[in-house]
Amino acid sequence: MSDFDDNVRWQAVVAMGRIGYPGAKAATPVIVKALGDIDPDVRGASAVSLGMFKQKSPQIIGALRKNLRDEHGMVRSDAHWALWVLVREPQAVPALIALLNHKDWMVSHGAAHHLGEIGEPAVLPLIKHLTSKTPRGRHLAAEALGRIGPDASVCIPALIAALEDKDKLVVEASIRSLGQLGSAAIIPLLAFLKSEKGTAKRDAIRALGEFSEEAAPAVPLLVKLLNTEPEIQAQCIQTLGMIGPKAASAFKDIEVFLGHPNPDFRGAAAQALGRIGEDAGGALPRLKALAENDKADFVRAAAGQAIGLIQGTE
């Protein structure tokens, strides 16, 4: 910890945090002192390590409170998290929420990580932040909710609404997070699909794919949507494939797309049929024809792989 190299001191603090308490008990005074290190990475890592130690002495709490006024956002973020862990600091969650909008991406992503670790007490503030004026704030709020997982299931309607966000990163984060919230999101997503159109509908279909076979109740609706606009068709094919064997009833509807003039559709259909597996065996003749004769190399490859999956040789 007395090394002149900032990175060495930083790694030493991180290592002591991973060792934890009481294994690294003797290092506690050194880590408390490091809260005032010249390097902000060392100061931040020291706060995190002290939080991991879970020791609540007045000296530690007082030293951490000083870092709440640090000029570096990451140090403030780490100190707020540590104080939440140690004494359930009331201002920790609001302060971390505010840092989601920070111009430094390392600060904002660090705050999102800490909010995800805090869990259920951060859920309602994060839901509110899904309407933040800054795309980064909305994006990271969605990510943090997904990190919390099923304990954040109350946020499902808000994340579904966020599928209509104009910012692509917000939409992507909402899709991933819905998949992390458990099967409770499936029925609301189906209801949304029945009422919405356009890009948001496509993204709701993508979100269903995150649930894999748990999304089997969506198969009848997805088959119905195969008769709509091309973007929706393509996403339905992909999601049916992600559902896998539980989408076996749709294999003939997917097989139709093996003859589509667009090679992207042929390739996607072949891939989906391969994921369905042996129950898509009726598509083998057409898949073999594609594997041998299709003009697009990626379609030939997808068809060949699908044959192997259906026949159990891959």
**What's 6's domain CATH number?**
1.25.10.10
Which amino acid is present at 267?
G
Q: Please give the tally of structural domains in the chain.
A: 2
Q: Is the Cβ–Cβ distance between 85 and 114 less than 8 Å?
A: no
- With bands split at pLDDT 50, 70 and 90, how would you rate the model's confidence at 194? confident
Q: Is residue 181 part of a domain?
A: no
Give the predicted TM-score (pTM) of the model.
0.85
28, 55, 89: which is the final residue of a domain? 89
Query: Is residue 259, in this structure, part of any structural domain at all?
Result: yes
The last residue of one of the domains, among 89, 108, 137, is 89
Question: Residue 109 pLDDT more than 70?
Answer: yes
Any domain includes 107: no
CA 254, 259, 262, 267 torsion: positive or negative? positive
Report whether 264 contacts 234 (CB < 8 A): yes
Average of per-residue pLDDT across 162-167: 93
Domain annotation covers residue 179: no
Model confidence at 199, in pLDDT bands (50, 70, 90)? confident
Residue 224 lies in a domain: yes
- Tens digits of per-residue pLDDT, 45-63? 999 999 999 999 999 999 9
**Does residue 100 fall inside a structural domain?**
no
Domain boundary among 89, 118, 133: 89
Q: Domain span at residue 59?
A: 1-89
Rg (CA), the chain: 25
Q: Is 65 inside a domain boundary?
A: yes
Q: Is residue 161 part of a domain?
A: no
